[in-house]
Chains A and B, each alone.
Chain A
Amino acid sequence: METATHMLRTGRRGTLFEFHMALRDLRASYDRRGLAWSLAWHDVVSRYRGSILGPFWITLSMGLMVLGIGVLYAKLFSIPVQDFLPFVAIGIVFFGLISGMINEGCETFVNASGMLSQTSLPMFTFVWRTVLRNLINLAHHLVIIVVVLLVYGYWRTANVPLALLGVLFVIVNASWLSMLVGIASARFRDIPQIVVSIMQFAIFMTPVFWKPDRFPDRHAVLDLNPFYHLLQVVRAPLLGEAAGGHSYLILSIMALAGWAVTFTVFALTRRRIVHYL
């Protein structure tokens, strides 16, 4: 249903026109940002309806993992716990955000098929719904990071504004990934399985459970791994370290290139997505 009082839908008028329409979709989703928020909030509430702790159950299990891995691996790697546990805590929480946005992105359009096939709601609304839902979950998991930073005294050296900038980099990059896999999953039903496998592989290839300084030199596993840079720009400032300028550079390029690709794909497939479902 359209709240606007004027609707114009036209046949194909060339690629430029498709971009114009895609941009209009984006703008419409901004005008109706309240809806994306309501849907996201409703998702979280309904997923945990009837449970006492709600999303904090995930927080609890994450916290347990942080504690277990933080202590055990610190011993295995012979690193002091106060160095390793905060490192693992931030890594697990933020990798959880990234993989949540991407994995759930696969269902963005598939789950919205009912609404998409009989209303003119902007497609981007559903992308924001996935993004916001994961940010709401993150807000719960932040408890872990706050506790860890307080307990191990990192709050004195943590550069919170810079870390928030890092979070922004994470959101901007994970959103386009989320949207791209969403479009691809609508068209090809194999994509979600592939995405889940890749994300599972990525968590072990990325310094989440191990420290990057195990490599004496910078290694391709780090430099060519976008997830490493995504974690680095949040984790380093919180631990009172510098993230390294090249991480910001790589993420900026990745954000621009990624959104350019995603937006192009969206512009070209927009009128077809509803038929994919």
Chain B
Amino acid sequence: MKAPPVTISCRDLTLRFPVYGVDAKSLKKHLARVTVGGRLGSSMAGSTEVTALSQVNLELKAGDRLGLIGHNGSGKTTLLRALSGAYEPDEGQIEIQGRIAALLDLSLGIDPSANGYDNIRLRGRIAGLSSREIEERMEEIGEFTGLGPFLAMPVKTYSAGMQARLAFAAATSVEADVLLMDEWIAVGDADFQKLAHKRLLKLVERAGILVLASHDLDLLRLYCNKVVRLEGGVASPVTDIRKLDELLAA
């Protein structure tokens, strides 16, 4: 069976964040609000809403490498999380054809008290690999980390750099059609960075679509062919990367 081509399509994607302040999370405050009887109607259960993305339209097809730029808080990570399926739109829709891998937080699912092998297994399971697939890749992943005998030791005994190596190797062992990244990942010492870079490039090549949020314009020029600028949750049209300067000037 031939899989349909890899695509991402967002139509009028709007995402609102209810902000439950520390106050709102307390039941007492919540009940008090009901009994006092003033503010309940103001918004849903007394929380304020922030519009994180509004009316975002995106159409990407296989081969597209999209860079996301924008100030802090402009909605880049929110858009990535929406694309990963974690946040559901309030309005509009997201449709993705292809397997998604979100490399947003490398430390996801890392248990410091477990050893390296167990962490690779756990991470693989979360990423949707079967136990058999993980065991098949174990050797390759273990070799790539370069941690050797340390893999049998608890991760909490690792240095920060070693932990990053493990997390990186485990996270990038997935096969995906859509790769979501929040900043280009650079971990480890100089040698490892070179290896990591190569591995990531291979992953990007295999993936049909890359969405990369970054502040590093040179990086984006290097890897992306399209770019979208987010400002206060509003997205610019998808622009060719060669027109990046015009987009920034606008």
Contact = CB atoms under 8 A, between A and B. Distances in A.
A17 to B, nearest CB: 11
Contact of A42 (B28, B84, B105, B118): B118
B212 to A, nearest CB: 15
A49 interface: yes
Contacts, number: 135
A5 B95 CA distance: 11
A34 B93 contact: no
A106 interface: no
A9 interface: yes
Contact of B3 (A5, A39, A114): A5
Which one of A1, A8, A34, A190 has the greatest number of beta carbons of chain B within 10 Å?
Answer: A1
A116 interface: yes
Nearest to A43: B111
A9 B89 CA distance: 7
Contact of B128 (A3, A12, A49): A3
B97 A12 contact: no
A117 B86 CA distance: 5
Majority-rule SS of A interface residues: mixed
A120 interface: yes
A274 interface: yes
B26 A274 contact: no
Interface residues of B, number: 52
Nearest to A12: B90
A12 B95 CA distance: 15
B108 A118 contact: yes
A11 B13 CA distance: 8
Given A38-B122, A118-B84, A1 B127 contact: yes
A115 interface: yes
A276 interface: yes
Contacts of B81: 117-118
B20 A1 contact: no
Nearest to A277: B20
A189 B126 CA distance: 27
Contacts of B20: 187, 275-276
Given A1-B126, A1-B174, A34-B131, A11 B85 contact: no
Interface string A9-46: 11110000000000000000000101100110010011
Contacts of A3: 99, 128
A190 B28 contact: yes
Contacts of A219: none
Nearest to B121: A38
B122 A115 contact: no
Nearest to A121: B126
B169 interface: no
Contacts of A121: 126
A191 B28 CA distance: 11
Interface in B62-121: 81-82, 84-102, 104-105, 108-109, 111, 113-114, 118, 121
Contact of B86 (A8, A32, A118): A118
B243 interface: no
A211 interface: no
A9 to B, nearest CB: 5
Contacts of A39: 122, 125
Nearest to B109: A115
B93 A9 contact: yes
B3 A118 contact: no
Contacts of B94: 7-10
B186 to A, nearest CB: 19
A42 B114 contact: yes
B25 A187 contact: yes
Nearest to B180: A118
B196 to A, nearest CB: 20
Interface in B162-180: 174, 176-177
23 contacts: A1-B84, A1-B176, A2-B99, A3-B128, A7-B85, A7-B100, A8-B93, A9-B82, A9-B94, A10-B88, A11-B90, A34-B131, A38-B131, A42-B118, A46-B114, A49-B154, A117-B86, A119-B84, A119-B86, A189-B25, A190-B28, A274-B87, A275-B18
The 6 A-B residue pairs with the shortest CB-CB distance, nearest first, are A120-B85, A3-B128, A11-B91, A10-B93, A190-B27, A271-B88
